Structure 1
Amino acid sequence: MYDQTIVGLDVGRSAVKVVAFSNGQVYHLNFPSLVCLAIDLSDENSIRAAELETVAVDGLKYFTGDTARLQGGAATSVGLSNDWTETPEYLALVLSAIKRLQHMGVTGLDTPYIVVGTPAALYGKQRDRLEELTRKALPNADVKALSQPMGAYLSFFLAPNGVPVYERFKDAKGRKKSWAVIDVGHFTTDFLLMKEGVHIDRKSESCEGIFLAAEQLARILSTKGIDASRCTPGGLRRGASLLPGISRLHSVDRPA
């Protein structure tokens, strides 16, 4: 049995999605990617409620998640640029995720193995730097960065015990299969090609996610006299912390 606590950490542009494996148990966590500088609170109940979602980065305290939304008025995700992981807000979200896991009773978080994700198009450029930044928040952790659609691929390709599913690796004649991944996210949609088990760099791309599509749909409906403002953007904001994304895999050895 693998003794080190493993944490899959997707600090997304709309929500932070976390899966942890510790002592044979799996833990799931989700909260909005909202961050703001903390303020002094006077109400005792508010102070208690905010404590779990408050972290310190370089001597400054930050509210995260719903506390940032309610107490700090944060309404927009911090991750709206490709270099947002260079900000203190990214470190605050990483620390907040670990603090919440500790509150859930996850052990071994002093020296965990952390897997973080990057958009497919930025993987080659951001991988090493993202690992370095994540270690800044968690200096005793082992950190590995992966392209985000690789998570969907591995979830499909590997059995629960971590062994490849043979039928998905080779066909009936023993030839290695190739797979394409389409990972539809809130702000980005990522593409990945695994050709005969090899990651093909030039086919790793990203484009806008479902949020832009919903905005465009709202504009089209508006020209037809239909007001979708109450159901489309608001619904996406509410759903951002509930829906981690949609991933689909296609075999490229046969028509999808």
Structure 2
Amino acid sequence: MVVVGSGVIALTTLGSDAADEVDQTGYAPSITLVGVDPGSPVATGDASVEVQPAAPNATLAVTRYLDAEIAGDYATSFSQLSSDDRRAFATLEDWEVGADDRPRILGYRILDIDGDTARADVELLAFVSEINGVSPASATYDFAIEQQDGGSRLSLIGSTFTPHYPGQDLAVPTAVAWVEAAQRCEDDARERLEYDGNLLGTLGLAESICGAAGAATASVGRLDSLPDPSAVLNGFGEQAAQWSRVVAIQNVAGASPLHVVLAPLGDHWVVIGALSA
């Protein structure tokens, strides 16, 4: 059975080598908040919203949740959650405020409903941000379904989220192009390869290789290949160890080796930092 949500296109896994499974419990606060009993009013400042009845089946629970998240109807998406999930967020207001911390869903395709699990390919708004980290352009959601209140509800605590990232080999030409643009002193060309934020790492590194000789050679690795990854981890958080890639550059006069750090943005990579050895 395939159910398609609004605005969805055919989704493609962009390089399985970088598709890391991420536990969706990271969406919930790490502290225990005041519980909300099923069917009771949910405090939202000066108003209250009644938790909606459970969906009659798993398919409707998933489609109601995804459709509501797409539409920004957070009262409905909140109502599809299990009682444990709702207790974790405590109020609808907390859930609404937390929308910026969840991947922004644009469309979806339900692939399979099997007992207490529903799998969907989801189209997402891709971004790179020091505040909210990285969101892929697409992902596979494995939703856990719980039988509660005479119907089906979603358990995000028991669900998993597998992002689809571009293959890491695509990071190499981006890093080399960034270094070569810096060597040619072409700031505009270099900045087009960067994310929309402040570069992390060695201050003024790009400017320091303006005019430097040497044909760059490169190899790609993970963040732990850096002698000191703290600048990236402090800027983007521990999740950066999963999605970032580091391209080691050799043969640039006066700056070898140097390390270019990249993040996935949709189907390509962008530079988020550069560090000298």
Comparing both structures, which one devotes a greater share of its residues to strand?
Answer: 2
Same fold (TM over 0.5): no
Compare CA radii of gyration and give the structure with the larger one: 2
Comparing both structures, which one devotes a greater share of its residues to helix?
Answer: 1
Q: TM-score of the superposition, structure 1-length normalised? A: 0.25
Q: Which one has more relative contact order, counting CA pairs under 8 Å at least 6 apart? A: 2
Q: TM-score of the superposition, structure 2-length normalised? A: 0.23
